[in-house]
Amino acid sequence: MLLRDLLMSQAAHAGDLAWAGSPLPGHAALAGLRAADPSERPVVRVSAIRTAELPAALSVLDDLAEKERAVLLIDALPAEPVSRELAVELAERGVELLHAVEIDDAASVRVLAGLSLQRSGAGAGLAAANLAAVTVDGSSPDWARLRAVLARALAGHESCAETLAAVRAELDAVTAPSGGARPVQGTDRLRLEVPAPVPPGDGRHQPPALRVEVPATSMVGRTLDRAGIGGYEPTTMAWFLALCDTVQPGAVWDVGANLGLYSLLARAYTDREVVAFEPTPEVAGWARQLSAVNGLDYPLEQVAAGEVPGVATFYLSEKSDASNSLAKGFRDSKRQLDVLVEPLDRYLRRTGSVPAVLKIDTETTEHYVLRGAREVVARHRPWIFCEVLADQAPEQVLAALMSRFGYHFFHLNGADPLAETDVVVGDPTLQYMNYLFAPRPLEPRMIDAARAWQAALEATPKAIRR
C-alpha cells in the first residue's frame, strides 16, 4: 500500500491527521501535516519509531486517550518477529492494532510498514487480536537480511517511484481533488446545480441545490446530469428518505458510498449522524469535496466493509467507478490497489456509532459486509437497503443469511404498495437493483412517508449544467 493511501484511510474528516514525536520525515505523503496539538482532539496522530528502540519508543502513545486513533510507521515488515513483539507491547498498553500493512514507497525514510491503532483499554483477548493482525503462516526467513535487501531494492527503485508518483498526481488532478493542486487544463468535468426535493410535511424547508463538480466519467454524476435527484434510484431514494424520517433513533451508514449522494441527502434532511464508507481513493476524494462544498459535513471512512479485518486487493473497473469491487473477476479491472477491510461489528464497537439505517452497495460483496455485521443486525436491527445483482454470489445467500435474523424482504421495484417476498433475486434488467431488508413489517406511517417522498422526488426539477 502507498503511504498516502494508508494515511487517507485513517482520516474520516479533512485535517484529521497530525504529526507527533520525531522530526517530520521528508516524504511527499507527509508533507503538510501539522504538528499535533494535545488541546485539539480528536485527531489521528501519525508517528514514526525504530523497532530497535522498543519498548521505550512507544512512549509516543502514552497520552493517547480512550478511543483515540494513531498511525505508527515502523522500520520492519508486519510479519517479522519484532512486529509480533510490538503487537504484544501495544496490547499491554491498552492499544488495539486494527490493521498492519506493508508500505511500498517509503523505504527512503526507513518506513516499511504502517500500523493503524486505537486506544481501547486492556482486556482479555487484546494481545491475541493484535497478534492476529501481524501473523502469517509458514516458516520464518532471515528477516534482518530480507529487510536489508528489500530496503536497498526499494531505495534504488524510488527514483522510478517518484516519477510514478508525479504521474499519479497528474492523474489525480483529473480524477480526484487534492489540496493545492490545479486541475489539468481541458479535463472533462460535470458542473451541475442539482435541485433538492421539497420535503413533505409542514414546517420543513427545502435545502439549497447541491453543487456538483465531478469527472464526466462518474456514473453518479452522469445520472444526476440526466435525471436529477428525482430520477436517481427513485423508489430506493423515496424509501430511504422515508425511513430516515420514521424509524428508531440512530445513525445512517452508507456502505459503498461512491460520491456520497445518500449521505448528502441524509445530512440535508435529517439530524441523524451520517457515516460513509468508500475505499476507492479518488472517489472518496470527490465525495469529501462535495461534502465540503455543500456544507454537509460527515465522516467518510476510506475503508472497505467486509467479514474480517485485514488488507485486501481492490479491483478498479475499466468501465465504471461504480463497479469497483473486492470481488476478483466481477468486472474487467484496469488497476488494483490494497485497501483496508473493516467489519462493521468492529467499527460499531470501537466508535460507538449505532446505525438505524444501513445502505450497502459494494458490487457483489454485500453478503460479506452483512456477515461482518452480525452483531449490528442482531442487536440493533437497522433497516437495510442492499443492492442485489442478478446471477451474482450475494443473490444465492442473502435470503438465508437475513432470514436467520427474522428480517422481511421487499424488492424496491416501483410497486405501490411494496409486496413482501421470501426470495431475493436480482433484476436482470438492472432497473431495480435494490432490496429493503426490514426488521419488522412495514407500518402505515412508513408507507405514507414513502409515498409523500415519491411525489416530492417526481416534482423535483432536473439538474442544470453550470
Q: Give tens-digit pLDDT for 363-393.
A: 789 999 999 999 999 999 999 999 998 877 6
Model pTM greater than 0.75? Answer: yes
Please, are residues 105 and 3 in contact by the beta-carbon 8 Å criterion? yes
Average pLDDT over residues 123-138: 79
pLDDT of res. 179: 43
pLDDT of res. 35: 87
Q: pLDDT digit string (tens) for 168-200?
A: 655 555 555 544 333 334 458 999 999 999 999
- Which cell goes with 127? 494481545
Report the range of poorest mean pLDDT among 198-207, 213-222, 334-343, 411-420. Answer: 334-343
Residue 428 has pLDDT above 80, yes or no: yes
Q: pLDDT band for 14, please (50, 70, 90 cuts).
A: confident
Residue of 117, 430, 448, 449 lying closest to 269 (CA atoms): 449
Report the range of poorest mean pLDDT among 9-23, 268-282, 289-303, 402-416. Answer: 9-23
pLDDT of res. 430: 81
Residue 332 has pLDDT above 80, yes or no: no
Residue holding cell 444465492?
396
Mention every residue, 6+ apart, whose C-beta is less than 8 A from residue 38.
63
Mention every residue, 6+ apart, whose C-beta is less than 8 A from residue 194.
209, 210, 211, 212, 224, 228, 229, 463
Greater model confidence, 313 or 238: 238
Residue 407 has pLDDT above 60, yes or no: yes
Write down the mean pLDDT value for the chain.
Answer: 87
Residue of 380, 450, 426 lying closest to 235 (CA atoms): 450
pLDDT of res. 34: 87
Average pLDDT over residues 351-370: 94
Rounded CA-CA distance 335/422 in Å is: 38
Q: pLDDT band for 345, please (50, 70, 90 cuts).
A: very high
Domain ranges of the chain: 3-175, 189-465
E strand segments, 120-221: 189-194, 210-215
Report the range of poorest mean pLDDT among 32-46, 50-64, 219-233, 394-408. Answer: 32-46
pLDDT of res. 363: 78
Q: Identify whether 417 is preceded by a cis peptide bond (ω within 30 of 0).
A: yes
Q: pLDDT band for 324, please (50, 70, 90 cuts).
A: confident
Q: pLDDT digit string (tens) for 260-299?
A: 999 999 999 999 999 999 999 999 999 999 999 999 999 9
pLDDT of res. 88: 93
Residue holding cell 491503532?
117
Rounded CA-CA distance 389/362 in Å is: 10
One-letter identity of residue 26: G
The CATH architecture one would assign to domain 189-465 is 3-Layer(aba) Sandwich (3.40)
Q: pLDDT band for 148, please (50, 70, 90 cuts).
A: low
Rounded CA-CA distance 220/320 in Å is: 10
pLDDT of res. 389: 84
Greater model confidence, 171 or 435: 435
